[in-house]
Amino acid sequence: MSSIDELFERLRQEQRKAFMPFITAGDPDLEFTREVVRELATQGSSLCEIGIPYSDPLADGPTIQASYTRALASKLKLSHILEHCQGWVPSLEIPAIMMISYSIVHRFGADRYVRESQAAGFGGAIVPDLPIEESAKLAETCRQADFSLVQLVTPTTPRERALRIAETSSGFLYFVSVAGITGERRSLPPDLADSVAWLRERTPLPVCVGFGISTPEHIRMLAPVCDGLIVGSAFVRRIAEVESTSREAVLREIGQAAAELVAALPQSSA
């Protein structure tokens, strides 16, 4: 079992839901990334998703795109991120998972990528631009290494295809809440809960929902029908404020926001 599998098994036994914040590695620098992740862990996060900056993101909205641009301005590469993370990610009290474009994995080499990511303390990867038709090799590499490979299902994914994606995924399934890009939203689609519940009934994998989730109301609405909630832009937006205020103030704001969202999670399954 990967550390991601172990987390969801423990949460299942405790009848709890996962809270997963996303932040961009190296925004504004890797040392601040470390500080933010540790603060998020302190405030009750279950798992942290760390995004690898990429010049041509597939589904990220302007907030996360801007964070990638800021990180890439310092010539940041995957090898730099892995080297830095190896010094602190393995000692985290929560698992870490990487959000990464398949083009980076392919260029790095799948075997090397999985090996070095595990050495840096990561329990798996979310690969948003990996088509199911091309996923077999990476899925097998990850399976042999007990490294979770998380793939995405969207509101427009045909149901038969969604089940095929579930069969090649491990760790959990990432259910995209909206047909669009990442970013904070005031409201979510009215049929979202039903769509998530349908998929959750048909796969043994945990189903976690992301894109647009940013308020305690969103958490309370979706928690009964899913296994975890993913929040990204709400934190990345606050990190951008480092340019105009102190790091200590931004860390406090991030911690307070995380604590408020974690508090909205139910204490037991519905």
Q: Could you give the residue numbers annotated as active site?
A: 49, 60
- Please, which residues have CB within 8 angstroms of residue 192's CB and are 6 or more apart in sequence? 155, 177, 178, 209, 222
d(CA 251, CA 37): 10
d(CA 179, CA 56): 19
In three-state secondary structure terms, 10 is: helix
Residue 137's CB: how many other CB atoms inside 10 A? 11
Token pair 């340019």 in the structure block, residue: 243
Q: What are the E-state strand segments in 29-166?
A: 48-51, 96-99, 122-126, 148-150, 152-153
Task: Using only the alpha carbons of the chain, give its radius of gyration.
Answer: 17
